[in-house]
Chain A
Amino acid sequence: MAATAAPTSAVPEVAHDDPPRARRRLPVPVLAAGLAVLLLLSVVCAVAIGSAGLGFGRALGYLWSGLTGGAITRDELSAYTIVWEIRFPRALLAAVVGAGLSAIGVAIQAMVRNALADPFVLGISSGAAVGANAVLLFGAFGALGVWAMSTAAFGSALLAMLLVYAVANTAHGLTPLRLVLTGTAMYYGFSAVTTLMVFFAEHGEAARSALMWLLGSLGSATWGSLPVAATAVAAGMAYLLLSARRLNALAMGDETAAALGVDAERLRRELFLVTAVVVGCVVAVSGAIGFVGLMVPHATRMLVGADHRRVLVVAPLLGAVLLVWVDVASRVLLAPIELPVGVLTAVIGVPCFLLLMRRRSYSFGVA
């Protein structure tokens, strides 16, 4: 039996209503190298800038002594401590947290296939807040000393994740809508608990630090808080980069993913675990810094397109640079008062984001 399809020439070419979009995209290696250099400079600047009246040059000198093990005099000790023990780990932590939140934001948006998702959509941060505030307000886990806060935050973040997982899991695995709905419901539940704790807290100062934690702060950064968070973020980023192609397939839909040989159910479970660990570690040291994990993934896609092999290289660098500078601003703008980082990410991020959106034809996952 012959096919009845018309010969090729008889089938009319589909007319283009909109002109073909020229997509000028920056080459990723150039962009990544540029951002890496910028990140390095940003960290150096962040160390040199501050309200202690040290001066840019002197601060850089102390940073250099710290890095090379050079000698300093006794009078310089307090200034040196500010640079080496406070500002430098803090700038590094800002970079780690910014990179981690951005990478996880990318992964979560693909995982729940929702452009509005951010790393906290699964209720992890609000779970962590319950633990952290129990420590802040009622001195829970006092036996753990300085580690009480981060341990309690990480522990309750993981508990929250287990709860979300148990509720959202079905015979067909974690479906995107169920995940988002469960996470959002849990978010409200945990937030209610936190609010209640703040409400019944005995003194105002504790309530203030509780609020500060909810909005995110890098003020508690020390050399001690860095390694765990840095390791978790690095491992998470490595896993995501290796899964970049699978994330592309997942973003196209579960059925397409299956047809391309990707087990969407399994991938989503893996992503859930990675998200839990990375966000848990990040939130434990910095609180719930909002907006970075939502905005940076989109900003990155505007720059380099949707392919996760590009996005996952650029987004963490962009997020790191952003958060380093936001943290500098939070320290300096109203010094000696420190602004919550989460407020500033929004203040700086929203206009940049709206500007980018207007300039580029960018589609937010809505066809």
Chain B
Amino acid sequence: MRVEIDELSVEVAGARLVREVTLTAEPGAVVGLVGPNGSGKSSLLRCVYRASRPSSGTVRVDGADLFAMSPREGARRLAALPQEAGAEFDFTVDEVVAMGRMPHQRAAARASAEDAAKCREALRRVRAEHLRDRGFLSLSGGEKQRVLIARALAQEPRVLVLDEPTNHLDIAQQLEVLHLVRDRAGGPDGPAPTVLTALHDLNLAAGHCDLLYVIARGGIVASGAPMEVLTAELLAEVFGVRAHRVSHPETGAVQLLFDRLVER
């Protein structure tokens, strides 16, 4: 599904966290959102998965206004991995993944065989079937993230929103998470969902995203393919670092070697 964010602003207590952001993600594309801490990435994404309302502007999913839909209806199209720590109470992995079926279920109805099958399939895709009966709180960071991705996949979303999905993970887990999102999120019969993700690591972003939006002080300052966007000038200006660009010897993706802080 195509995601179109149009002139979206978020204002909290007089501070403008997001300023008139306009952004488009084509169906099936992996779109990255990069920017320094506090630049408004999370505030923007929170509006997309409806944890907060924008002060102005719209989010459209295949042309339909997200905020005109009921929350349930929205959640049938769009799933998210928020940044928050996760469960307070010790749900099992099975129970956490089953929550992904909520938007498709009626309140009083029991989980159907179809729901159970979809949860199993989601766990299989993230290779976490062996964790089914474990307590979610007993899992490692990487395992938790895989289970949360399974929950999002069980939701059968056409759009997947991720807020820093690789935070606190070791390098193998980071690669695995992005691999899962990029290559295994598509269902057996459905197309791969459109992915909108905030990422801290610019090299991961360059290697895994089709399109990057750079956000600074709440506004988009650059957008395009990673190769075009991640220039030395932009890195100096937005992130305050000097960097060399090299291309990945195998994939040709742009990669950055960081030098030092820009002297101001």
Interface residues of A (CB under 8 A from B): 1-6, 8, 11-12, 14, 17-18, 20-23, 109-110, 113-115, 172, 242-243, 245-246, 248-249, 251-256, 258-263, 301, 305-307, 362-363, 365, 367
CB-contact partner of A251 in B70, B89, B183, under 8 A: B89
Q: Which of B78, B85, B95, B207 is the one whose CB lies under 8 Å from A4? A: B207
Assess whether B172 is in contact with A12, with CB atoms less than 8 Å apart: yes
**For the complex, what is the distance from the CA of A22 to the CA of B142, rounded to whole Å?**
21
Which label, helix, strand, loop or mixed, suits the secondary structure of the A interface? loop
Contact with B138, one of A8, A12, A21, A246 (Cβ below 8 angstroms): A21
B88 lies within 8 A of A259 (CB)? no
Report the separation of the CA atoms of residues A33 and B19 in the bound assembly, to the nearest whole angstrom.
57
Q: Among A113, A256, A263, A301, find the residue whose CB has the most chain B CB atoms closer than 10 A.
A: A256
| B71 engages A306 (CB within 8 Å) | no
- Decide if A5 touches B88 in the complex (CB within 8 Å): no
Task: Name the residue of chain A whose CB is nearest to the CB of B72.
Answer: A261
25 residue pairs of the A-B complex, CB under 8 angstroms, read: A4-B248, A5-B176, A6-B179, A8-B127, A14-B140, A245-B107, A254-B51, A255-B46, A255-B83, A256-B86, A258-B80, A259-B50, A259-B78, A259-B80, A260-B100, A261-B71, A301-B90, A305-B90, A305-B91, A306-B91, A307-B95, A363-B138, A365-B87, A365-B88, A367-B87
Contacts of A255 in B (CB 8 A): 46, 49, 51, 80, 82-84
Which chain B residue shows the least CB distance to A248?
B99
A3 touches B182 (CB 8 A): yes
Interface size range of chain B in the complex: 35 or more
Task: Tell me whether A261 and B102 are in contact (CB under 8 A).
Answer: yes
| Interface SS of chain B | mixed
Instruction: With a 10 A CB-CB cut-off, give which of A5, A8, A251, A261 has the most chain B CB atoms.
Output: A261
Residue B137 interfacial (CB < 8 Å): yes
**Do residues B103 and A261 form an inter-chain contact, with CB atoms below 8 A?**
yes
Q: Which 8 interchain pairs have the tightest Cβ spacing? A: A261-B75, A5-B179, A255-B82, A259-B80, A306-B89, A258-B51, A261-B72, A365-B88
Beta-carbon contact of B251 and A1 below 8 Å: yes
Q: Verify B50–A258 contact, CB threshold 8 A.
A: yes
- Bound: A322/B227 CA distance, A: 67
Q: How far is the CA of A75 from the CA of B178 in the complex (A)?
A: 83
- Cα A39 to Cα B208 with chains together (Å): 59
